[in-house]
Chain A
Amino acid sequence: MTQTTLANPGGQKVPFNQSRRFGQVTHDAVVYALLIVLGLLFAFPFFWMLSSALKTNADVLLWPPKWIPVPAHWENFPQALFGNSQLPFIPTFLTNTLVIEVFSIIGRFVTCVLVAYAFARLNAPGKDFLFALLLSTLMLPSLALLIPKFVLFSRLDQASLVLFKGLNRNLGMALAPIRFINSPLPLIVPTYFAEAYAVFLFRQFFMSIPRELEEAMRIDGCGTLRIISNLIVPLSMPIIAVILIFTFKDVWNDYEGPLIYLNDLKKYTLSQGLAFFNGQFRVDMNLLMAANFAIMLPLIVLFFAAQRAFVEGISMSGMGGR
């Protein structure tokens, strides 16, 4: 990056194989050789997935395989996604999923940044205990809380029905009650109460930001919220991008949650809907691979868009000048 400035301070001739430039070339050669080999290894399963998605079901089990299927059966994709007449539902599934996505991302971002800042920077009695408690919530298997959480939300649902009935009677109105069962709320509401994973990750990142910049802003009379929004958040773009990517992916792929709380076809999410129509264990390997590949594509697109934050991250952290 800044190697040119100090490359050859004395100006004497240096043999090429000892020069700065030679070091850079060998370095790049090694790096790219490794990247290409590893990249091929990582990409192979996807190549296999795509190649299988374009075969007939008979060709899938052929050995030696047809690595590149000719002719490619592109019709497998519409067949896998819309085959069983679920076509009219796909837009509904997509809308339902995106609603959960938007609200979850906003909730997780805002609350987790605030909580993580407090854990990273402020001192208070009981802080270590609270942090241990926060970590411990990650340690109890989610399976153990599955039934208790469902019961909790169904109780909330009943309570809300009673509450709204009373309200409507006393106020003479006809408000629709807030429902927690057969509603996306149990999937969205928890994200507004700062989830442990993201808080922990943000905290680790915030703690590696030098304090000096913050103190300078404080002397200039900036409040904590101002410091978070104008300093901490811009400096944390790489990790914010990570949380954004993870959250989007988790909601997109979540199958368990919707399965438990949503039972009306009109409220299904995309992964739930596709699983409902296709069955995760269907025998047609080619269609299964096509469906998996298709549902993955939006995630890849999002990743391509969001990864710019990593590039921008470099120039911004550069201003941590000391």
Chain B
Amino acid sequence: MTTATSALQTPLTKKRARSTQARREAILFYVLVAPWVIGFILLTLGPMLWSLYLSFTRWDVLTPPQWIGIDNYKFIFSRDQDFPQALKVTTVFSVISVPLNLIAALALAILLNEANKAVGLFRTLFYLPSVVAVVASAVLWRWLLNPEVGPVNGLLGLFGIKGPVWFVDPNWALPGMILMSVWGVGGQMLIFLAGLKGVPKVLYEAGEIDGASRMQRFFQLTLPMLSSTLFFNLVMGIIGSFQTFGAALVLSSARAGTPGGPAKSTLFYMLYTYVKTFAETKVGYGAALSWILFGFILILTLVTLRSSTVWVYYESDRKQ
């Protein structure tokens, strides 16, 4: 790192100096991450291990947990009728909503970054939806998409289009939820905006002097400089969409009567886990379901993480 004094040193002392330097850096690293490590061991590891243990038991909360080995897992993969459906619903939702939300959030952030008047107003408008608590926004959307007295179908009716019955129709319930998720991209947009503000202005000035067009500047400057932010939003988007829960619970139980309805078309994975754990008090079974989801998300994230070395550019890694 500091190479200012190294000119006077012999190769041997230089090597030794480098190793003490490395050791000092490692010690500093562990001092700084200590709060997280301590918190992880005290507050997270215990509950995690206990929930892993529970996934190998049958437990109804009232009597002590009963060890049953891998029976929960065996049953889930071989005979559980709802497990494949829950996995399918969640995967379809994620595959559509994650890229859609990323593109929407990035587009909004870039639009805001291009504007120079009344930016605050528009920024607030776009961010506002993500301020609404999940349950409250589910209530609002249930009503916006109400087939009889909802304004969305009302507006469609003005153009002579007969709107779908949304959360009552198994084919339209999931698209309704995806629409709602796009409305809530404000958080991701804000992260992109912060990323855009972090791009040094000199880079754009240099690009302009070199005669790069807007398109070139976007693809060759903005996008690479934004890739670390894009990576964050992608990973968190995958993790978040696979854990979709609150909105699904409110929407399906209110409109279709049963959690996950109509016809199990919105039986999100976490919703199914919730029903098993709390409604049917099969806590061990629910824990097994959670750990299977953990496995899926872990694999997806590792794939994304691996691929990131190819497409994520970190300014601090730049060779000097």
- Chain A residues within 8 Å of B, Cβ to Cβ: 1-3, 6, 27-28, 31-32, 34-35, 38-39, 42-46, 48-49, 61-65, 111, 114-115, 117-125, 127, 130, 133-145, 147-149, 151-152, 189-190, 192-194, 197, 199-201, 204-211, 215, 218-219, 224, 235-236, 238-239, 241-242, 245-246, 249, 253, 255, 271, 280-281, 285, 288-289, 292, 295-296, 299-300, 303-304, 307, 310, 313-314, 317-318, 320-322
- Which applies to chain B's interface (DSSP): helix, strand, loop or mixed? helix
Alpha-carbon distance A142/B47, docked complex (angstroms): 11
Which one, A2, A148, A204, A249, contacts B46 given CB within 8 A?
Answer: A148
B316 and A208 form a contact (CB under 8 A): yes
Contact residues on B (Cβ < 8 Å of other chain), bracket: 35 or more
Alpha-carbon distance A215/B50, docked complex (angstroms): 45
Which one, A48, A192, A218, A307, contacts B124 given CB within 8 A?
Answer: A307
B29 and A144 form a contact (CB under 8 A): no
Task: Give the interface centre of A6, A134, A310 by most chain B CB atoms within 10 Å.
Answer: A310
B194 and A255 form a contact (CB under 8 A): no
B287 and A137 form a contact (CB under 8 A): no
**Chain A residue, CB-CB nearest to B288:** A144
Set of chain A residues within 8 Å of B270, measured between Cβ atoms: 141, 143
Instruction: Output the least CB separation between A56 and chain B (Å).
Output: 15
- Chain B residues within 8 Å of A, Cβ to Cβ: 1-2, 4, 22, 25-26, 28-30, 32-33, 35-40, 42-44, 46-48, 50-51, 54, 108, 111-112, 114-116, 120-136, 139-141, 143-144, 148-149, 151, 154, 183, 187, 190-191, 193-195, 197-202, 204-205, 208-209, 214, 225, 228-229, 231-232, 235-236, 239, 243, 245, 250, 254, 270, 273-274, 277, 283, 286-287, 290-291, 293-294, 297-298, 301, 305, 314-318
B50 and A42 form a contact (CB under 8 A): no
A201 and B232 form a contact (CB under 8 A): yes
Q: How many A-B residue pairs have CB under 8 A?
A: 294
Alpha-carbon distance A190/B191, docked complex (angstroms): 23
Alpha-carbon distance A270/B316, docked complex (angstroms): 43
A190 and B290 form a contact (CB under 8 A): no
**Chain A residue, CB-CB nearest to B283:** A147
Set of chain B residues within 8 Å of A6, measured between Cβ atoms: 208-209
A193 and B201 form a contact (CB under 8 A): no
Instruction: Output the least CB separation between A208 and chain B (Å).
Output: 5
